[in-house]
Structures are given as C-alpha cells and as structure tokens.
Structure 1
Amino acid sequence: MLMTTMAFGLVALVIVLVVAALLDCVRTPAERVRYVPKWLWVLFLLHAPVFGALVWNYVGKRPESPA
C-alpha cells in the first residue's frame, strides 16, 4: 500500500514537472529561447519528459532582463 502511494506521488510529481515545463516553454517569448527554436524545445520536452524539463529550466531560456 505504501509503495503504491509513493509511486502515485512520484508519477504525479513527474506529470506536474513536465506540464509546467511545457507551459513555460510555450509562453516564453521567442527572443528568450536559447540554442534551438521553440518548436524543437517542445518536441524535446515531449520525447524526453523529465530530462527535457530539467534541461529547459536550466539551459533553454535566458533569464528575464530587469525592467
């Protein structure tokens, strides 16, 4: 029972991470996206969900410039 609950929690966490990264990628302006076009980042996020979400958050976009 405990393992099932932990597995469900881990799956839910992964789903939240991937959906948040996808939404962030789609909403990020094209000028802030690094290295490859945004559509390629979306494909990467869909094909390698966990690794793609981590790479997107740390490498894929430029920091916001101060207003």
Structure 2
Amino acid sequence: MTTDPVICSAKGCREPAAFRLIWNNPKLHTPDREKVWAACAQHRDQLSDHLSVRGFLRRVDPLEQPR
C-alpha cells in the first residue's frame, strides 16, 4: 500500500514536508489541543516564525513520511 507524501502547508508549496509544527491558539483551544502544520525544509523557519510571533508555536518535530 502506497500513501501520498505529506505536503508542506506553506501557500503554493507542493514539496514534501520534513517537519511537523505543533501549535495551539490559547484563545481558541484548550491547553491539551495540538494543531499541526507540515513544513518542508525551505519553509520551516517562515512558518515557525509566523506561529512564534503570535505565541502559538509549541515545538517543531521531524516528520516521518509514510512508506
């Protein structure tokens, strides 16, 4: 069984993701709720910065692509 790769969440990007950006908007979500954006190496910093400036970013984890 083949699974399509996870694609980067950056607008217009179609590259396979290499990272999971785990975030939470404390004004909308309970503390245990974790949302995820996928990021390729090129967009990791840009997406992380976007979430960090808002105080949403919790952590960045490597993404293991499905086989």
Structure (1/2) with the larger strand percentage? 2
Instruction: Pick 1 or 2: higher relative contact order, CA cutoff 8 A, min separation 6.
Output: 2
Larger gyration radius, structure 1 or structure 2: 1
Tell me the TM-score normalized by structure 1: 0.28
Structure (1/2) with the larger helix percentage? 1
